[in-house]
Chains A and B, each alone.
Chain A
C-alpha cells in the first residue's frame, strides 16, 4: 500500500454506540462553528483553497522517509494545516481529509467517523494551535520559535490524538486502559518525532520560499483565543488523565461497565416487546424460524439478482 499514515483511524466496531454518538455531537458542533468562521475569514476563496489543501494533506501523507528496520515515517498533517491555515480552516480541512479516507478508502469507520474527526481534526488542531501560537508569542516571531513551535506542535498533536484514541477504546470497553494507553502513547511518542521532523522540514521550505504563509505577524484570527484555551485544556487534561487512567485502570473499567450497562438497559427494553408480540413462542424457537425465513429470502434474492444481471449482459 503506497498510502499508510500513522495507525490512528478507528474502524467501526471499536467504539461503543454511546461514545460514538457523543463524539459525533461534539464534532458536529465544533465543525459547525468552524464552517461559519471560515466563511467569514476566507470569503470567496475558501472553497478552492481548502479543497486543494485537503488534497495536499492527503498526498503529503504519502511522502515517507526510511526509519530503521524497513519501516518508514509519515505525516498526519494536522499541525502543518493549523500553522498554514489557522485553526478553523484546519479543522474543516482535516475533516475533509478524514472523511474522504473513511468514505473512499475505508480507512476508519463511518459510524466512528465523528470520533476520528474529533481525534485527528479537532484535538490535533487545537493542541497544535495552542503550542505554535505560544511559541510564536514567546519568541516574538523569531526563527527558533517557528521551528521549535512547529516541532512540538506536530509531536504533541500525534501523542495527544493517540492518547485520545486509547481513552476512547478503554471507555468503550474494547481495550484495557493501562495497556491501551501505554501502547498507543509509547508508540506515538516515537511516531510523533517523525511528524515533528517532517513538519520542521516543510516549515523550513516554506520559510525560505513564502514566509508570508506562516502567518508569523498575522493578527490572531477571531475566536482563536477560545481555541488556544481549548488546546491548553485538552493538552493538560490528557497529560493528567492518561497516567492516572493507566495507573488506575479500574476507574476506566468502571466507566466501561456503566457504558455496557447503558447498552444493556437500552436493549432489555426491547426484549420485553416480543413476549407481547408473539405470545407463546419461546425466543429460541422464534430465532430459528426467523433465521430460516430470512436466510431463504436472501438466497432467493441473490439468485434473482444474478439472473437479472446475466440477462442484462447477454441482452
Chain B
C-alpha cells in the first residue's frame, strides 16, 4: 500500500516546471506579498493579478481544473470573514429580516469581504502552482538558497521522506481497526462502542505510531552514523542560477512592483 497521491508534485514538460526552483519560490512569495499589499477596492489590479496567475497556471500545463480544485482547500475559512459584510460600513446595500432582527449588508463590508476572499484565492493558486510544479527536493534547494536555517531544512527533508512511510503506517493501523470493527449476528448489541472508548483507541494508535517513529529514528541515526554522520549538517554546493532564470526573476519582480504601484495609484 502506498500513498503516492499525497505528493502534490505533477511532473510536466513546461517552462514553469523548468524554471529554477529558487526563482520560483521567490516569485511565488513576491506574488503573495503583492496580493496582500494590494489595497481593498483596487479591482483592476486584482483582475491583473488574476490574469498573471491564470497565465502561469496555463503555462504550467497542470490544467486549470486541477489548480482550482486544489485551491478550494482555503474555501471553508471564508466563513470566518462573512460577518464583516454585516458589521462593517455605512452604505446599506440590502437587508432582510431574520426573526426579530434585520440583517443589513453594507457596501463597504461587502467590498472588504470580496477583497479578502480574492486575496486568499489568488494566493492559494500561487502556492498550488509552486508545490505542483516543483519537486520537494528542489524546494529544499530553494529553501537553502533563501537562507532558511540548515537544521530546519534538514528536518523538512527528513520529515518529507518519512511522511510517506509513516502515513502508510497510519493507514495500515486504520485498516487493521476497520477489519476488526464487526457486528454480531444478533441485533441485540449496539456495535461501535462509546465515543470516549473510540477516542482512546485512536489515541493508542497514535501512541503506537509515535513509539515506532522513536525507534525508527534510532535506526536512522545508526544508519547515518555508519556513513560518517557527525551531527554537522552538510550538503552539496548549490548549482549556479542560469541567466534565463535571472531574467525571469527580474521580469517577474518588476511586473509585480508595477502592479503594486498601480494599485496604490488607482486607489489613491
A contact residues vs B (CB 8 Å cutoff): 2-3, 7, 10-14, 17, 20, 31-32, 35, 38-39, 43-56, 58-60, 62-68, 73, 75, 80, 84, 92-93, 95-97, 99-100, 102-107, 109-111, 169, 173-176, 179-180, 183-184, 194, 197-206, 209-210, 213, 263-264, 267-268, 270-274, 283-284, 286-287, 290-291, 294-295, 298-299, 301-302, 305-306, 308-309, 312-313
Contact = CB atoms under 8 A, between A and B. Distances in A.
19 contacts: A10-B77, A39-B151, A44-B230, A50-B155, A51-B157, A52-B216, A55-B165, A56-B166, A59-B209, A60-B210, A65-B199, A65-B202, A80-B206, A92-B152, A103-B127, A176-B84, A205-B208, A294-B255, A309-B59
A17 B32 CA distance: 11
B92 interface: no
Given A179-B83, A287-B262, A55 B203 contact: no
A14 B80 contact: yes
A5 B40 CA distance: 31
A197 B196 contact: yes
Given A63-B174, A194-B199, A202 B255 contact: no
B221 interface: yes
Given A44-B230, A283-B268, A309-B14, A103 B139 contact: yes
B170 A63 contact: yes
Contacts of B39: 263-264, 267
Interface string B68-81: 00110110110011
A70 to B, nearest CB: 13
Interface of B: 6-8, 13-15, 28-29, 32-33, 35-37, 39, 44, 47-48, 51-52, 55, 58-59, 61, 70-71, 73-74, 76-77, 80-81, 83-84, 87-88, 112, 116-124, 127-128, 130-131, 136, 139, 149, 151-152, 154-163, 165-167, 169-171, 173-174, 192, 195-196, 198-211, 213-214, 216-218, 220-221, 224-225, 229-231, 233, 255, 258-259, 261-262, 264-268
Nearest to B212: A56
Q: Give me the 7 closest cross-chain CB pairs, A-B, nearest first.
A: A201-B203, A271-B268, A51-B158, A205-B207, A13-B119, A13-B120, A12-B123
B51 A298 contact: yes
A83 to B, nearest CB: 10
B176 to A, nearest CB: 12
Given A174-B84, A267-B267, A46 B151 contact: yes
A48 B166 contact: no
A78 B162 CA distance: 19
B202 A109 contact: no
A205 B217 contact: no
B123 A35 contact: no
A92 B139 CA distance: 19
A70 B8 CA distance: 27
A47 B159 CA distance: 10
Given A54-B159, A96-B152, A63 B265 contact: no
A13 B116 CA distance: 5
Contacts of B7: 104
A287 B74 contact: no
A1 B28 CA distance: 25
Contact of B203 (A95, A103, A200, A286): A200
Contacts of A183: 80
A126 to B, nearest CB: 19
A310 B48 CA distance: 26
B206 A202 contact: yes
Nearest to A7: B76
Nearest to B265: A274
A184 B29 CA distance: 29
Contacts of A283: 265-266, 268
Contacts of A272: 268
Contacts of B51: 294-295, 298
B232 to A, nearest CB: 9
Contact of B8 (A105, A175, A305): A105
Nearest to B119: A13
B264 to A, nearest CB: 4
B15 A309 contact: yes
A55 B163 contact: yes
A217 to B, nearest CB: 18
The residue in A199, A201, A273, A284 that gathers the most chain B C-beta atoms within 10 A of its C-beta is A201
B159 A175 contact: no
